[in-house]
Structure 1
């Protein structure tokens, strides 16, 4: 079936230039098929007919020569690729490289004459003459005008000066010089429109046979647009359309079109440019070996006739296409199955989907075409989607689509219609693998309101002691309550996406599924109804403490938390022992401080006695005071001894309790 499509241009994208192909004894080589990749490439396949040896000429845009050299592949079962050739990247430079004048010299006669000094010319016009060019000079006239003069050496040896005015014409006598000038002018003219190259592929083969070839070039990315009509029975009609452009610069006639959703790695390389490796110059060592002066002339004549004496130079031109053609020939010989690009309609690959459009198409250059590629009934449902992290109390209207088409669908814009066929919004459909489900939001549902309440806490569920270490098992719990106030006019299916947390367990009576990042809670809310949805996240944890490091208050707290009566009593006993030990230690510390103060007072009293007169009443008072201090010191030291014994007993008791836990 051939479809004749003549559409007005929607978008003219001229990324590709015309590609006209000719071959020996072949009048045309039309496009047979085109595979468009969503990666922005087009694989163009053409066909031609050869009889025996022949060549295929492909005119390609200059900016696509690199892609042609990179990707051109020839399919010929009864032939082999001989070589591929095309003009160099800079024909203008190549032409003038061996000419005595430059393109700029061609813009003015005085410049051209100066560059060709020594050439014989004939002047016609008011000032006639002939001779060999010596040079061109200019003079300023009195009125400010500038005059140009040509100096010629005549055959009689006289030098003549000829003014070049508007009526003067100059003819170069040497036909070779005239030919070089004409050729250079032609190259300059063609360089103005130097936008293409003729790539010539020579093929040796036998018999009359079809020859196919393909190449990959840049192309506009084909797009996908979707229409979905959501029914009331959980089904929907999903239609996918491909939007593509013919931007090849030529009309397509009876062309098969294949669309590929892959995004391949795409590279380019400047294969059409020349690269020269820098070489250091090695100077020639010249030794004077005493050749007689009479013989030096003969040596110079011999060198002048040889290639080393400055005459003919060895060519340094490298055939730029040798390596690419060797690769192309090897590819044809080893991988004739490359025609795999022509695949079946709606086929699923490992990493992409391929769509082969039905029949062939006639599409004018520059036109945009939109063609349906999928038309299937799929599972679908309209929901009010709420996400707490959006910061909005209103959910968004979304359509949930399950891809049951049998092929993965590329991403694209989605237009949503309700069961009555009325437009209700636009959305973006991300790439939808076969068998997967996606939700696409398209509007804000202001008729539904959702309140979010969260409570959190930590509960100790187990306490045990192992080798003097208190080990606790805790449960962190976060409960979220979603209070849904339904729409006043109709029932709603509300889908809440509750965010996941790594390491946490989730519970909800309304759990309906999950994605990579969320739990999905689904409920139906009747019109005007208020409905609560609970979501609980829990996480088990634990802590450990050295019993010896815990104080009495901490132990009393853990004792009140423990559910095991044995552990509870032991912790309570240890708490009391820790408290007795702590209080005794504090009393001992206060006694030690008092002892230090008494010793300081004793020392001051002794120092004062040294300066008080002997036998005085004041001396007697200080002696009594010193005696009282010493008595108190003795009492303090006795008290400390008793306290240390008590502390030792309490410490032993603490150690015994911990040891016997």
Structure 2
């Protein structure tokens, strides 16, 4: 019989344990990567056994990540109810699922079995049938074969039934267990056996969890702002938290889900039974084993720890912050009690930060935004979150808007855009120009270095009576070099950020000029004269280079003219040779006719024309060779720059 109700991993289990203790949740690490680390304390019995109740939704992750903490113990095995469908559970039973729809259905499925029924009267016998009474009575009737004959009992009077076959009675009980285990997404009990652990121990696993959210309150006053960061978290662990140590992780770890609690079957092709042919399988030579290297230990010296103090409760830390290479950890200042399914929000950081109101124009956007520029002068990064901006500079606190704050590493600043700034009028413009920076000729190759200039600008008009600090993101290629401005500019992704202050009512521009050097190479012999003429006429070259290129153009044009004359002479010669062939054919055709002399004269004229054109073709070829040699010789000896 195939096992259908249990799932075994990591070993073979011993018998049940009466003194095993349920694991108790003691520590939680919530990650913004959508997973949580749960740590439990438990007391293993003398056989190293304990149990853990976990939600059905966490079983895949538990089977993937369950560990026992401590060097002297390890998980030997875990037993839990399987996730097989009812059809699999009933595959090993003499009954099917439909038999449990009603008592009449169960009795029909047990036809032939010995039973004792009780109720209106008690009767013992083998089940013959369960059928309705003929004549319209819809009440089912049970028919038994007793020692003295058939017994008919209305099902409405049957209040109890006992099977005579103990094995069959156990099968019914097993079927009911299968129904119970397959019902709902409730808690499942894991029976855990530890190897090398007795008494107090700790277990841990990683499972899916709602990511915790960070929010900020920034209250502006003068040139600074009071920043307070809060965390919003949920307890969806399936366990109530009672004095649990909670740590919040702001990072993006790689986390995977695999349906390990689900049974998989490989589809195999069906082949006919071999009746006559026989096959000889090849001899297996085995597989090559490959050793796995052990992972390197983590360098604990890379951790940097600091504490952020609460301004509301002097000296009491909101959270202990640890920054690691891939994440930021916020260990909450006190243990947390939170019922399963509830939400909690609490502050994790607080302090003053430099804050400045600006007008911000994002890259490729045409709508200015009101923003506040804040700087993180702390020792650790700030996690991303939504920020609510308030203004207390005029006494009464006013709401300005909401902003999105990305990850802010220590020492960096960010712009928090919280509203539109419709009073600002802007207009984007662009321009481009090109000039030759240098040129040289060597080994028959002209090398020209050109500088392409790009101008990106935003024209700004401010309202009367209002000054602004304007921050503009301008796009720029990575190949461009910034020429101007020389200050108030920083490199950003795909461009530059320029900051410029404007007086009240001022009109001006935020402008940046970029340069890109490009080298172009021209083989003088192969390059068309028209391309070289562009540089001759451009006026950016030195007089010597300009004169040299003009001479190259002149000689290339001479060679091109000689080539055209050769083509013309060749075309004329081919036409004359065709005339000569026709005259010769006509002369042959007339024989001794009176026209013979006329065709003979035409043949003589055609032959003379062919001879003349051959001489002209030869002369044109000689002139072409001379022009090309003249060009090659000039280029060969040309060296400038």
TM range (shorter): 0.7 to 0.9
1:246-269 alpha-carbon deviations (Å, 9 max, x no partner)? 334554333332111233333445
Structure 2 length normalisation: TM-score?
Answer: 0.72
SS in 2 for 1:450: strand
8 Å Cα contact 2:23-2:51 kept in structure 1: no
Q: What's 2:543 paired with?
A: 565
- The number of residues matched between the two structures is 571
SS in 2 for 1:261: strand
- In the alignment, the residues of structure 1 paired with residue 594 and residue 88 of structure 2 have an alpha-carbon distance, to the nearest angstrom, of 133
Of residues 441, 444, 458, the one that matches 1:468 is 444
Of residues 402, 426, 431, the one that matches 2:402 is 426
- In the alignment, the residues of structure 2 paired with residue 426 and residue 410 of structure 1 have an alpha-carbon distance, to the nearest angstrom, of 16
1:563-602 alpha-carbon deviations (Å, 9 max, x no partner)? 3333333333344444445555556665666677777788
- In the alignment, the residues of structure 2 paired with residue 270 and residue 110 of structure 1 have an alpha-carbon distance, to the nearest angstrom, of 36
Shift of 1:120: 5.2
Q: Would the alpha carbon gap of residues 221 and 638 (structure 1) be closer, same or farther in structure 2, given more than 3 Å must change?
A: closer
SS in 2 for 1:42: strand
- In the alignment, the residues of structure 2 paired with residue 173 and residue 639 of structure 1 have an alpha-carbon distance, to the nearest angstrom, of 125
Structure 1 length normalisation: TM-score?
Answer: 0.70
Q: What's 1:151 paired with?
A: 144
Of residues 364, 373, 376, the one that matches 1:400 is 373
SS in 2 for 1:345: strand
Q: What's 2:274 paired with?
A: none
- In the alignment, the residues of structure 2 paired with residue 173 and residue 586 of structure 1 have an alpha-carbon distance, to the nearest angstrom, of 115
- In the alignment, the residues of structure 2 paired with residue 65 and residue 256 of structure 1 have an alpha-carbon distance, to the nearest angstrom, of 23
Structure 2 residue ranges without an equivalent (≥5): 1-16, 270-296, 307-318
Of residues 521, 526, 540, the one that matches 2:498 is 521
SS in 1 for 2:504: coil
Q: What's 1:537 paired with?
A: 514
Structure 1 residue ranges without an equivalent (≥5): 1-22, 281-333
SS in 2 for 1:656: helix
- In the alignment, the residues of structure 1 paired with residue 264 and residue 68 of structure 2 have an alpha-carbon distance, to the nearest angstrom, of 27
Name whichever structure is richer in helix by fraction: 1
Q: Whose RCO is larger (CA < 8 A, sep 6+)?
A: 1
1:411-462 alpha-carbon deviations (Å, 9 max, x no partner)? 2112122352422221211222333333232222222222233221222232
Matches within 5 A, 1:632-643: none
- In the alignment, the residues of structure 2 paired with residue 592 and residue 169 of structure 1 have an alpha-carbon distance, to the nearest angstrom, of 120
Of residues 347, 354, 368, the one that matches 2:343 is 368
Q: Would the alpha carbon gap of residues 624 and 565 (structure 1) be closer, same or farther in structure 2, given more than 3 Å must change?
A: same
> 78-87 or 404-413: which moved more?
78-87
* 1:121 equivalent in alignment to 2:116: yes
1:155-195 alpha-carbon deviations (Å, 9 max, x no partner)? xxx43343435335665484948975995697488558673
Of residues 432, 440, 445, the one that matches 1:456 is 432
1:211-240 alpha-carbon deviations (Å, 9 max, x no partner)? 44444443322111112233432x333221
1:509-546 alpha-carbon deviations (Å, 9 max, x no partner)? 24421112221111101111112333222211222323
Q: What's 1:654 paired with?
A: 631
- In the alignment, the residues of structure 2 paired with residue 58 and residue 610 of structure 1 have an alpha-carbon distance, to the nearest angstrom, of 117
Shift of 1:609: 13
Q: What's 2:31 paired with?
A: 37
1:112-139 alpha-carbon deviations (Å, 9 max, x no partner)? 266162415366646x754x31512536
SS in 2 for 1:389: coil
8 Å Cα contact 2:85-2:182 kept in structure 1: no
8 Å Cα contact 2:229-2:350 kept in structure 1: yes
Q: What's 1:328 paired with?
A: none
Q: Would the alpha carbon gap of residues 473 and 119 (structure 1) be closer, same or farther in structure 2, given more than 3 Å must change?
A: same
SS in 2 for 1:568: helix
Shift of 1:377: 2.3
- In the alignment, the residues of structure 2 paired with residue 205 and residue 562 of structure 1 have an alpha-carbon distance, to the nearest angstrom, of 85
Q: What's 2:524 paired with?
A: 547
Q: What's 1:385 paired with?
A: 360
Of residues 474, 485, 503, the one that matches 1:498 is 474
Q: Would the alpha carbon gap of residues 108 and 464 (structure 1) be closer, same or farther in structure 2, given more than 3 Å must change?
A: same
- In the alignment, the residues of structure 2 paired with residue 174 and residue 646 of structure 1 have an alpha-carbon distance, to the nearest angstrom, of 124
1:287-326 alpha-carbon deviations (Å, 9 max, x no partner)? xxxxxxxxxxxxxxxxxxxxxxxxxxxxxxxxxxxxxxxx
Q: Would the alpha carbon gap of residues 524 and 146 (structure 1) be closer, same or farther in structure 2, given more than 3 Å must change?
A: closer
